[in-house]
């Protein structure tokens, strides 16, 4: 199945191709910015912002570099070529990220996982393939299980298929086992430019527990998840994204609280960020993200 990010790339490629008769650089850039806003509005998710932010930053850099020396059609073709490279990178990213995570895992480690993305599953598969002796604990989240597309039974079956029988703990039970783990392995819906983590609600409290217990917190995520947005608190994050989907919560005076689907984890609680382009501390990752938007 094609990922959401690859679908976004295809939309951008098709839009650029539709502008083949456009002759004015500034008009094309204006229309492309409008297309970005349209895609974000339709998608109604923070998760794709990083890809679009990074692409538009690239467009601006290239337009300044080439505008005086390149005709618009040639510039458009360069953008299409770059987007095709993005798509290849997106498809290959989980394997590259898993290879960055692997050296951090040692024999005898106990790993706590909260929610499973394709990237997190690829990391687990890579650890298994490397014959590392480890234990896996999976957090069963009632928030995740209200979504019929994300069920703990499906996740456990996927793990069973690769020979893993994890210990399952509820969110409320994490405090009783946090001192027994070595690593908290997390995915990301998005990353802020200062390396804050946006992920399924409940992530923040797990990261806080792991940080206080002096455990290693690893975020395994595509670099394209980094957005051009600084955030320092959970409250700032909610102000940024506004009201989230209420498809699982009845409308009431409490709906704005009950329907929260994501939360924000500050960078100081994160030990390592593993991306397809490198393994970084949170400070290093923030520096790399800033360079992507220069």
pLDDT tens-place string over residues 12-32: 999 999 998 888 888 999 999
- pTM: predicted TM-score of the whole model, two decimal places: 0.89
Q: Let me know if 66 is exposed, middle or buried by CB neighbors in 10 A (0-12, 13-18, 19+).
A: middle
Confidence tier at 144 by pLDDT (50, 70, 90)? low
Domain with 150, as residue range(s), is: 96-292
Query: 90 with 102, same domain?
Result: no
DSSP state of 147: S
Query: 66 with 152, same domain?
Result: no
Q: Which residue has the higher pLDDT, 107 or 150?
A: 107
Query: 85 with 164, same domain?
Result: no
pLDDT for the residue numbered 71: 83
Q: Check whether 38 has a pLDDT greater than 70.
A: yes
> What's the rounded Cα separation, in Å, for the pair 171 and 208?
13
Task: Count structural domains, the chain.
Answer: 2
The DSSP-derived string for 234-277 is HHHHHHHH-S---TTS--STTHHHHT--EEEE-GGG--EEEETT
Q: Which residue has the higher pLDDT, 91 or 261?
A: 91
Share of the chain above pLDDT 90, in %: 62
pLDDT (mean) for 139-155: 63
pLDDT for the residue numbered 246: 39
Which residue among 72, 94, 116 closes a domain? 94
Residue pair 139/186 in contact by the 8 Å Cβ criterion = no
Q: Let me know if 77 is exposed, middle or buried by CB neighbors in 10 A (0-12, 13-18, 19+).
A: middle
Would you mind telling me the total number of residues written for the chain in this entry? 294
DSSP state of 189: S
Tokens of 208: 């806080």
Which residue among 70, 94, 118 closes a domain? 94
Query: 17 with 115, same domain?
Result: no
Tell me which residue has tokens 């912002």.
49
pLDDT (mean) for 111-135: 93
Q: Let me know if 292 is exposed, middle or buried by CB neighbors in 10 A (0-12, 13-18, 19+).
A: middle
> What's the rounded Cα separation, in Å, for the pair 196 and 203?
12
Query: 223 with 112, same domain?
Result: yes
């Amino acid at each position: 199945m094609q990922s959401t990010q690859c679908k976004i790339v295809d939309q951008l490629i098709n839009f650029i191709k539709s502008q083949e008769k456009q002759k004015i650089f500034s008009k094309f850039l204006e229309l492309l910015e409008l297309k970005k806003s349209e895609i974000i509005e339709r998608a109604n998710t923070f998760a794709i912002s990083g890809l679009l932010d990074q692409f538009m930053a690239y467009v601006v850099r290239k337009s300044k570099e080439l505008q005086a020396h390149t005709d618009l059609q040639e510039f458009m073709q360069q953008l299409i070529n770059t987007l095709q490279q993005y798509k290849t990178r997106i498809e290959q990213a989980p394997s590259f990220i898993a290879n960055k995570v692997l050296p951090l895992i040692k024999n005898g480690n106990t790993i706590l996982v909260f929610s499973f993305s394709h990237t997190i599953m690829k990391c687990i598969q890579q650890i298994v393939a490397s014959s590392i002796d480890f234990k896996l604990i999976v957090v069963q989240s009632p928030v995740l299980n209200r979504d019929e597309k994300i069920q703990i039974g499906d996740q456990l079956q996927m793990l069973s298929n690769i020979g893993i029988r994890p210990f399952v703990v509820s969110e409320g039970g994490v405090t009783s086992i946090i001192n027994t783990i070595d690593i908290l392995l997390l995915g990301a819906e998005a990353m802020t430019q200062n390396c804050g983590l946006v992920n399924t609600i409940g992530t923040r409290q797990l990261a806080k527990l792991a940080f206080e217990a002096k455990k290693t917190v690893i975020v395994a995520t595509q670099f394209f998840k980094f957005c051009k947005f600084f955030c320092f608190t959970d409250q700032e994050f909610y102000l940024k994204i506004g009201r989230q989907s209420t498809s699982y919560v009845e409308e009431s005076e409490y709906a704005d609280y009950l329907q929260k689907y994501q939360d924000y984890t500050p960078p100081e609680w994160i030990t390592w960020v593993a991306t397809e382009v490198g393994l970084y501390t949170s400070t290093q990752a923030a520096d790399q993200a800033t360079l992507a938007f220069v």
